[in-house]
Structure 1
Amino acid sequence: MIELILYLALMLLTAETFGWLFSRIGQPVVLGQIVSGILLGLAFPPTEEVKDISMIGVLMLLFLAGLESSVEELKSAGKSGFSVAFVGVVVAFAMGFGIAYPFKGFDQALLYGALTTPTSVSLTVRVLMEMDRLKSREGTTILTAAIVDDILGIIVLTVVISSLVSGGVSVVSLVEILAKVGIFIALMLFAMPRVLDYALRKVVRIGFADSTVTLSMAALFAFAYLAEHMNLASILGAYLLGLALSETEFRKPIFEHSRIIAHSVFVPLFFVDVGMNIPVKDLKSAGLFAVLFSLVAIVSKVIGCGIGALIGGMSPREALRVGVGMVPRMGVELAMLAIAMKAGIVGSDAYLVIVLMIFLSTLVTPPLLKLAFKGQ
């Protein structure tokens, strides 16, 4: 037990140090935390105890993503937001599957295809703010499309993981899983906001205002377990609970307190654990596929989201800007991958591929975005 506590202390210390260093050179903190894990893993082998603790970071990451969204924002996404997200997800999945199939076979190609679907636009938002273009038509489209994209990406991955865990993809199993997902989403979005709001009001009224965050955490773990019990991915339960809580008046305090807990402890532990589990010795063998997959993941979003923007009524130049803005990937893919690995669907070599995809997509987005807006 003492060794585990020291292990966690070392992980948090290196995560904070490398996260700060990477932020100083203009790179995402997440990448610094992963690199710290890679270096730490060369000296200390990862343990199952640490992995179990870091999985809390996965759930909290998706929980916060849900809290940052809202049902009202989904409703106001508009034609362009929905078409950008939908076509972007379809094209990214198809191209990701296509490049992975010759290397990994049908089952794992489905998973790799699903892992290309999410988008993380925090980097895009930062660049657009610097250029004073966040409130432009392209900026607002990217923001609304990202919300829809999150939900579609999580649903796609939930369906893929559930299908593979149940023994393979068939029409019957697919229909059954989609029905479960539909019921679960309907329950969480239409019934749970009222139930949660009522329960939290009662807690505050009897003088336990500080317990709202504790009860939210308890609900997070309960609904993650419920999703797993229904043979769905636990991340779906975590995300939808966050989305349900975003419809209550307690959204802001729960988000602020949960964010501090998550990003101070559990999320850094998760990303360091990811780095520690990357098989550096397999770098040469995974090199070609990792590079090809990363390039396809970048191009697929430009093409798919660009086509979606054209369908939504935007000009070719605006569509290109939206496509580039939807390129970045960040932590959601790794959270999804951790769930797939825990289910035994894929090996640790997948970490190397996805980390490279995240690194390249965050590296190319700022210059490409500035180039796309050049001459405006």
Structure 2
Amino acid sequence: MELELILYLALMLAVAETFGWIFARIEQPVVLGQIIGGILLGMFFPPTTEVKDISMLGVLLLLFLAGLESSVDELKEAGKAGLSVAVVGVAIAFLMGFGIVYPFKGFEQALLYGALMTPTSVSLTVRVLMELDALKTVEGNTILTAAIVDDILGIVILSIVISMLVQGSINPIGIGLIFAKVIVFILAAIYVVPPAIDRLLRKVVHLGFADSTITLSMATLFAFAYLAEHMNLASILGAYLFGLSLSETEFRRPIFEHTRILAHSMFIPLFFVDVGMNIPLRSISEVGIFALVFSLGAIASKVIGCGLGALLAGLDRRQSLRVGIGMIPRMGVELAMLAIAMNAGIVGEDAYVVIVLMIFLSTLVTPPLLKMAFKEEASSEYSPNLLS
């Protein structure tokens, strides 16, 4: 049974809001509620190509907002501990993901799943640390700074992997060319684009079209995403890097606030509901063991990798364990990455089940583990900030 597109969108948004509210009430991530709602909706109304095309705008806006929330200065000031945790954590996660998947699905899929295991979403961790009054501790500061670097590394790795798999060739020259493209893209986003877009937006405001800064930003965002695709890179890399470029201008805050309202009230909920609608329930039993092993590996990889990175940066064992646990959660970036990979035709729909289970388990175990790790600590042991 098919509904007209406009009614389909209305139904999806209603489901997103309802299930998001229910999950928020039981102190679970809203995203999971939207996905569960999408699964139930998909049992009655199959997903359509038109809806998927619209929901893909949510992917770009999600990464654009992530870029806006970052900043080049924050990356430069991430500190030894944050950088070490992010780099080692991403490396271990990728290698563990590759090692787990290779026996099941072969070399190319192992590369992709390894990349999908790398990002971290610390919004849940931040909420728990705030409840424990531990956000301003050494561990809290390390997690926050590591998350900034972690996002960029994860997106870059996935862009490189997708580019290699789409081209169908994995050789040193091809990999070197992809790396060169990524580096050029990043350098342009940091040094060339910010002053250019800042001057352009200033002129728009000077001409009396202040509201047009949002429209112009959206147009440039989609152009960046297209440019990344045209360069055989992932469109999410273009979206993220343009957000990072805009974060260096005085228009960062108003553009973020306006875009956040638009994105989170419509396009991002549509994306997550569409993810749920595209989860093939018939394949849950088929990928059950694999999905569980992958999810447990994803949890262990961050505890081990990020914990090791914290140890190498000089934190003690207890602090390093807390950092590792705090970096466990996964959330929207992985699904955005997966959507791009699926659009490129390099992974099947069963991957949705695997990644959603990973998100569910990682968000489920983090709060109790984090509270246990901090439970026996006296508040007098905390120091303001030892990262400098």
Please indicate the TM-score interval, normalised by the length of the shorter structure.
Answer: over 0.9
**1:59 alignment counterpart:** 60
**1:72 alignment counterpart:** 73
**1:179 alignment counterpart:** 180
CA–CA separation in structure 2 for the residues paired with 1:279 and 1:169: 30
CA–CA separation in structure 2 for the residues paired with 1:147 and 1:33: 25
Q: Are 1:44 and 2:45 counterparts?
A: yes
CA–CA separation in structure 1 for the residues paired with 2:37 and 2:262: 20
CA deviation vs aligned residue, 1:96-138 (integer Å, no higher than 9, x gap): 0100111111101100000000000000000000111000000
CA–CA separation in structure 1 for the residues paired with 2:45 and 2:105: 30
**2:357 alignment counterpart:** 356
1:90-239 correspondence runs (5 A): 90-239=91-240
Secondary structure at 2:106 match in 1:
helix
After TM superposition, give the deviation of residue 170 of structure 1 in Å.
1.2
TM-score, with length taken from structure 2: 0.96
CA deviation vs aligned residue, 1:55-84 (integer Å, no higher than 9, x gap): 000000000000000001001101111000
**2:246 alignment counterpart:** 245
CA deviation vs aligned residue, 1:305-356 (integer Å, no higher than 9, x gap): 0000011111111000000000000000000000000000000000000000
Counterpart residue identity of residue 130, structure 2: M
Q: Are 1:309 and 2:310 counterparts?
A: yes
Counterpart residue identity of residue 95, structure 1: M
The alignment of Structure 1 onto Structure 2 pairs a total of residues equal to 376
CA–CA separation in structure 1 for the residues paired with 2:10 and 2:203: 38
CA–CA separation in structure 2 for the residues paired with 1:129 and 1:63: 26
**2:25 alignment counterpart:** 24
Counterpart residue identity of residue 78, structure 2: A
RMSD, matched Cα: 0.8
CA–CA separation in structure 2 for the residues paired with 1:283 and 1:231: 32
CA deviation vs aligned residue, 1:148-207 (integer Å, no higher than 9, x gap): 000000000000000000013211110010000001111111110100111111111111
**1:85 alignment counterpart:** 86
CA–CA separation in structure 2 for the residues paired with 1:175 and 1:2: 47
Q: Are 1:373 and 2:374 counterparts?
A: yes
CA–CA separation in structure 1 for the residues paired with 2:139 and 2:250: 30
Secondary structure at 1:43 match in 2:
coil
Counterpart residue identity of residue 73, structure 2: E
Counterpart residue identity of residue 171, structure 1: P
CA deviation vs aligned residue, 1:213-268 (integer Å, no higher than 9, x gap): 11110011000000000000000000000000000001000000000000000000
Counterpart residue identity of residue 265, structure 1: M
After TM superposition, give the deviation of residue 2 of structure 1 in Å.
7.6
| Structure 1 portions without partners, runs of 5+ | none
CA–CA separation in structure 1 for the residues paired with 2:217 and 2:136: 33
CA–CA separation in structure 1 for the residues paired with 2:222 and 2:198: 18
**1:347 alignment counterpart:** 348
Secondary structure at 2:135 match in 1:
coil
1:289-300 correspondence runs (5 A): 289-300=290-301
Counterpart residue identity of residue 12, structure 1: L
**1:271 alignment counterpart:** 272
Counterpart residue identity of residue 229, structure 2: E
**1:326 alignment counterpart:** 327
Following TM superposition, the consecutive aligned residue runs of length 4 or more in structure 1 with deviations greater than 6 angstroms are none
After TM superposition, give the deviation of residue 282 of structure 1 in Å.
0.9
CA–CA separation in structure 2 for the residues paired with 1:170 and 1:54: 34
Counterpart residue identity of residue 35, structure 2: I
Counterpart residue identity of residue 71, structure 2: S
CA–CA separation in structure 2 for the residues paired with 1:309 and 1:124: 17
Q: Are 1:287 and 2:288 counterparts?
A: yes
TM-score, with length taken from structure 1: 0.99
| Cα distance, 1:103–1:203 mapped onto 2, change above 3 Å | same
Secondary structure at 2:43 match in 1:
helix
**2:380 alignment counterpart:** none
CA deviation vs aligned residue, 1:252-296 (integer Å, no higher than 9, x gap): 000000000000000000000000000111111110000000000
Secondary structure at 1:373 match in 2:
helix
CA–CA separation in structure 2 for the residues paired with 1:49 and 1:108: 28
CA–CA separation in structure 2 for the residues paired with 1:353 and 1:40: 19
After TM superposition, give the deviation of residue 374 of structure 1 in Å.
1.4
Taking only the aligned residue pairs, the percentage that are identical comes to: 74
Counterpart residue identity of residue 367, structure 2: P
Counterpart residue identity of residue 370, structure 1: K
